């Protein structure tokens, strides 16, 4: 296995030794060689638990390549007030498929999502804010790097929002990834993937109004009370344009509820008060 400088530094930052090792956020899951499915089940259960918590920040990334230079714009938006933190945005080049040797798999094993290079000068990115964060704050970075032979069909960029903790460890906060376009075809960076989303109560229903500029297909939403209990879930087909998701309130007590919607792997949370 060939390690890039970026992957080596990330491994060291997480205290990773040997392989294979699996991290979700910054938590290490021991690999059960005798029963790999056991490891998969543990990780899936952990992720299911995390879905109950709304995202504290969202990130988006847009990249273009002119044959010589990869130009990237990254953006972060915080959805809630946060106390003292030290946040950094980092951008990496990712290869979807790499054919290489793997023990017991042969010389042409298909390795997915291989970290190829860092685009930001520092492995853990550029500092965007230190100290208190105010809800609604947005931060943007623009970085570029000369790279040969970027494959627009196979390569992607991934952006990670890191929080540098007081113990010196960079803790994963959020991430996103995107395809690379030819120079001149760049689009505005979209953090949420949704043009507009609002939640309201109308008569005996909670209504989630969603406006998009693309088809998202099957999207899951959940209604959650303030204790974190899931009251109801729905799967809806979200298409380009105006969409609505509705939850009946006849069986609900008055109070505050959260509606969470998962789009492209990102969880977005809206608050609504039921009267």
Least confident of 37-41, 162-166, 224-228: 224-228
Burial of 4 from C-beta contacts in 10 A (0-12 / 13-18 / 19+): middle
pLDDT at 195: 58
What domains sit in the chain, N to C, each tagged with a CATH number?
A: 1-53 (no CATH), 56-191 (2.60.40.10), 196-274 (2.60.40.1930)
pLDDT band at 144 (very low <50, low <70, confident <90, very high): very high
- Taking the C-alpha atoms of residue 148 and residue 266, their distance in angstroms, rounded to an integer, is 32
Q: What is the value of pTM for the model shown?
A: 0.64
Residue range 65-81: mean pLDDT, rounded? 90
pLDDT at 186: 42
* Segment 227-264, tens digit of pLDDT: 678 889 888 888 877 889 999 999 888 888 888 887 76
Kindly report the number of other CB atoms within 10 A of residue 236's CB atom: 18
């Amino acid at each position: 296995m060939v390690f890039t400088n970026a992957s080596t530094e990330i491994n060291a930052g997480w205290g990773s030794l040997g392989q294979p090792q699996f991290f979700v956020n910054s938590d290490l899951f021991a690999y059960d060689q005798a029963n790999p499915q056991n490891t998969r089940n543990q990780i899936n259960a952990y992720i299911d638990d995390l879905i109950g918590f709304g995202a504290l920040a969202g990130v988006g990334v847009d990249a273009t390549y002119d044959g010589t230079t990869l130009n990237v714009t990254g953006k972060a938006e915080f959805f809630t007030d946060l106390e003292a933190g030290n946040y950094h945005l980092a951008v990496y080049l990712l290869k979807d498929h790499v054919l290489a040797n793997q023990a017991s798999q042969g010389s042409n094993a298909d390795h997915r999502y291989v970290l190829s290079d860092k685009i930001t000068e520092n492995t853990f990115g550029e500092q965007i804010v230190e100290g208190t964060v105010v809800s609604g704050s947005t931060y943007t970075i623009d970085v570029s790097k000369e790279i040969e032979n970027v494959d627009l069909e196979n390569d992607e960029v991934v952006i990670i929002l890191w929080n540098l903790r007081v113990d010196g460890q960079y803790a994963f906060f959020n991430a996103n990834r995107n395809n690379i376009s030819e120079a001149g075809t760049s689009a505005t960076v979209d953090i949420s993937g949704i043009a507009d989303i609002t939640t309201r109560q109308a008569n005996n229903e909670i209504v989630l109004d969603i406006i998009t500029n693309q088809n998202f297909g099957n999207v899951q939403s959940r209604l959650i009370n303030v204790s974190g209990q899931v009251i109801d879930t729905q799967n809806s087909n979200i298409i380009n344009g105006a969409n609505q998701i509705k939850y009946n309130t006849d069986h609900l007590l008055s109070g505050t509820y959260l509606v969470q919607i998962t789009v492209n792997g990102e969880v977005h949370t809206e608050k609504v008060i039921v009267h």
